[in-house]
């Protein structure tokens, strides 16, 4: 029986996020102020008072979700996770929770990651789409077919839970894929309101930029394993964690497989730290027997 802590990614932001933590907890307030100083502007003001459009900008969204998530975790008295995982961006929060990274270094990496991803999005128009109620293998087959026959980039990007897979690629590739997914029996295939093809080869320029920053950052031996997106396996070696974190930008988020691995390794309770309840819902869809709760 193990307690797993999980951390959300981009998309869980909302106006007013983190304000209650800031107002009621001194540890959280101090983290927000440290973040404001590191970033060189008061991101806390945008989080607390900004509108949805303000919070949608990648260079705001990613640091905001990270800061909120770590602050939520730090408010848990005597929290000592036995395993951690994060969805995409959330992996950085997870690495602070298991003490692989300190807060300051992780925030700097998140800011570099966000800026690099934004830049990559501007290089080539690209997008993502959610595919519902279609077998993973069928989704992968259609993506491969379009890539091979049409020369468009289309890949499976986020394995969120059984029957919910997000694909990523060029605008044309995603359009073709959505048509073929529906024809193959998908309940829905919806283009998402995102600015680029995250977790696809189209993020290669961002990956190269992030790799330099990660290589120059100290990663410590963690107090517990992190189940990383690209492998869905427990990892404790700092060099392996670095390697997988770099690969994550162009690789798939294997969330379904990560949660299944954690349960196989003894996880019975999952606590989501950060804005929203998305991961709590996904964990329950992956395995209804698990106990889930959240701190936000």
> How many CB atoms sit inside 10 A of residue 82's CB?
18
In whole angstroms, give the CA distance from residue 104 to residue 127. 31
Out of 12, 44, 88, 200, which one is annotated catalytic?
A: 88
Backbone angles phi, psi at 269, to 5 degrees: -130, 130
Annotation says 199 is catalytic? yes
Annotation says 3 is catalytic? no
Determine the straight-line distance between the first and last CA of the chain, rounded to whole angstroms. Answer: 24
Out of 68, 87, 199, 243, which one is annotated catalytic?
A: 199
Instruction: For the chain, give the secondary structure using H, E and C.
Output: CEEEEEECCCCCCCCCCCHHHHHHCHHHHHHHHHHHHHHCCCHHHHHHHCCHHHHHCHHHHHHHHHHHHHHHHHCCCCCCCCEEEECCCHHHHHHHHCCCCCHHHHHHHHHHHHHHHHHHHHHCCEEEEEEECCCHHHHHHHHHHHHHHHCCCEEEEEEEECCEEEEEEEHHHHHHHHHHHHHCCCCEEEECCCCCCCCCHHHHHHHHHHHHHHHCCCCCCCCCCEECCCCCCEECCHHHHHHHHHHCCCCCECHHHHHHHHHHCCEEEEEEECCCCHHHHHHHHHCCCCEEEEEC
The catalytic residues are 88, 199
């Amino acid at each position: 029986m193990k307690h797993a802590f999980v951390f959300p990614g981009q998309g869980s932001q909302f106006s007013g996020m983190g304000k209650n933590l800031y107002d009621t907890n001194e540890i959280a307030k101090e983290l927000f102020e440290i973040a404001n100083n590191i970033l060189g502007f008061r991101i806390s003001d945008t989080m607390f008072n900004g509108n949805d459009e303000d919070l949608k900008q990648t260079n705001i969204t990613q640091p905001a979700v990270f800061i909120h998530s770590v602050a939520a975790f730090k408010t848990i008295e005597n929290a000592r996770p036995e395993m951690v995982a994060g969805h995409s961006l959330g992996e950085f929060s997870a690495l602070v929770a298991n003490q692989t990274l300190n807060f300051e270094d992780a925030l700097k990496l998140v800011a570099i990651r966000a800026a690099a991803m934004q830049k990559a999005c501007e290089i080539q128009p690209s997008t993502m789409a959610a595919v519902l109620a279609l077998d993973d293998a069928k989704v992968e087959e259609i993506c491969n077919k379009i890539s091979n026959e049409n020369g468009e980039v289309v890949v499976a990007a986020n394995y969120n839970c059984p029957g919910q897979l997000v694909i990523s690629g060029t605008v044309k590739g995603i359009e073709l894929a959505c048509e073929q997914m529906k024809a193959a029996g998908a309940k829905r295939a919806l283009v998402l309101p995102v600015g680029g093809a995250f977790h696809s080869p189209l993020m290669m320029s961002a990956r190269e930029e992030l790799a330099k920053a990660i290589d120059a950052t100290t990663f410590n031996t963690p107090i517990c394993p992190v189940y990383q997106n690209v492998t869905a396996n427990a990892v404790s070696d700092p060099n392996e964690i670095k390697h997988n974190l770099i690969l994550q930008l162009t690789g798939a988020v294997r969330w379904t497989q990560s949660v299944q691995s954690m349960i196989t390794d003894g996880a019975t309770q999952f606590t989501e730290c950060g804005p929203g309840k998305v991961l709590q819902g996904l964990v329950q869809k992956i395995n209804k027997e698990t106990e889930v709760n959240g701190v936000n």
